[in-house]
Amino acid sequence: MKIKKIETQFEVYDDVNELPKDVSELMAEAVKARLRAYAPYSKFLVGAAILLDNGEIITGNNQENAAYPSGLCAERTAIYYAGSQYPEAKIIRMALIAGSVKNKTTMPIPPCGACRQAISEYEINQDLPIDIYFMGESGEVMRSKSLSNLLPLVFEKSVL
Ligand code: THU
């Protein structure tokens, strides 16, 4: 038996004001997208903004449904739209903001496991790390320079 250790790394910014201007502008798009979320059941609103290498910015938010599992997270709403509209484009960066309308969320909220899995497929396909910033409604912003920091032991298509 041997033990394997995996190290993962994040940057933490005090708040959005500490971000480079282009990143805070992308986060501002995620903030706007979050406010358009359709989340009447969870009251948990999530916004995503994606910068593509062709300059396009794609936004998305969570879309819920009375048949609960039929809803979709913000990250996948946005990334699937990007993939469907711009299949040749590479994803440079994602900005994510999440928080409940019931209580103010001030700690960074990372994407759920299913979204990490979905994002990883795009990162692996494009052979370029996706830079991911995520935050709560306010407060610290965390940065992962690659999706792989968020999902070190990925299940990927090469095993199929
Ligand atoms: N949600 C997202 O949009 N992204 C995540 O990464 C986690 C959860 C949504 C799904 C659901 O509409 C609500 O947040 C509560 O889980």
Q: In the structure encoding, which two tokens stand for residue 52, read together?
A: 């593509």
State the Cα angle at 95 between 94 and 96, rounded to 5°: 115
Digit-coded pLDDT (tens) for 85-126: 999 999 999 999 999 999 999 999 999 999 999 999 999 999
Q: What is the distance between the alpha carbons of residues 123 and 118, in angstroms, rounded to a whole number?
A: 9
pLDDT digits (tens, 9 = 90+) for 141-157: 999 999 999 999 999 99
Question: What digits encode the pLDDT tens for the residues 41-82?
Answer: 999 999 999 999 999 999 999 999 999 999 999 999 999 999
Residue 82: half-sphere exposure toward Cβ, Cα within 13 Å = 29
Q: Would you list the domain boundaries of the chain?
A: 11-139
Residue 98, judged by CB atoms within 10 A of its CB (0-12, 13-18, 19+), counts as: buried
For ligand 1, whether the C-beta of 100 sits within 6 Å is no
The structure's pTM equals 0.97
Name the fold adopted by 11-139: Cytidine Deaminase; domain 2 (3.40.140)
CA pair distance 149, 160, nearest whole angstrom: 23
Q: Is the CB of 39 under 6 A from ligand 1?
A: yes
CB burial of 56-79 (b: ≥16 within 10 Å; e: otherwise) equals ebbbbbbbbeeeeeebbbbbbbbb
- CA of 99 from ligand 1 middle (Å) equals 9
Q: Is the CB of 46 under 6 A from ligand 1?
A: yes
- pLDDT tier at 17, thresholds 50, 70, 90: very high
Q: Is the distance from CB of 130 to CB of 92 less than 8 angstroms?
A: yes
